[in-house]
Amino acid sequence: MAERMPSNAAAALIDIDTHVESFRQTRNARRTELVEDYIELIADLIDHDGEARQVDIAQRLGVAQPTVAKMLKRLATEGLIQQRRYRGIFLTPEGKDLAEKSRQRHQIVESFLCALGISPETARIDAEGIEHHVSAETLETFRTFAENRGTAVSIRKK
């Protein structure tokens, strides 16, 4: 019978404060992820089609219209959008600012992944989740790496 080696699992644990901070950041990212995705999509629809409608948001996200209606109510309560009956959805100045920041984060992550040799299609899909979970420090490192490799995706401007 083989002799059991003592477990080093306890020695491998990170300190409590670091552990707490990493879970706090993850929880915060999850909380804001959906809001950022909606705001970015609304901005994209307005830029592309001249308007954002609930039906288009539902179609693009692959969710039911009541799900979108609930989120739009939340976004309005948070001061990120305004809804006008029969006229669609509009971003407030705060919503526009959040949309631009979300776009930039996405494009930095996408550029970084492309610089690593990931296909543009896969990089675009993967960036959609990663963009919400990286720190400002990591994001800046991604940007620098992508720029040094000459793969920076240009940031969309209105």
pLDDT, tens digit, 9 for 90 and up, residues 105-124 = 999 999 999 999 999 999 99
**76 in a structural domain:** yes
70 shares a domain with 46: yes
Give yes or no: residues 90 and 117 share one domain.
no
Looking at the structure, tell me whether residues 106 and 62 fall in a common domain. Answer: no
Distances from the Cα of 100 to the Cαs of 29, 60, 73, 104, in angstroms?
A: 17, 19, 21, 6
Looking at the fold, whether 112 and 72 belong to one and the same domain comes out as no
CATH assignment at residue 51: 1.10.10.10
> pLDDT-based confidence at 70, cuts 50/70/90?
very high
Question: Does pTM top 0.85 for this prediction?
Answer: no
Residues 152, 146 contacting (CB under 8 angstroms): yes
Torsion on CA atoms 139, 144, 148, 150, rounded to nearest 10: 50
Q: Contact 46/112 with Cβ under 8 angstroms? A: no
- The Cα–Cα gap between 140 and 112 comes to 10
Residue type, 69: A
**Residue 113 belongs to domain spanning:** 102-149
Where does 62-92 have alpha helices with state H?
Answer: 65-77
pLDDT tens profile 30-61: 678 889 999 999 999 999 999 999 999 999 99
Evaluate whether residue 11 is within a structural domain.
no
User: Structurally, how many domains does the chain consist of?
Assistant: 2
Query: Are 81 and 39 in the same domain?
Result: yes
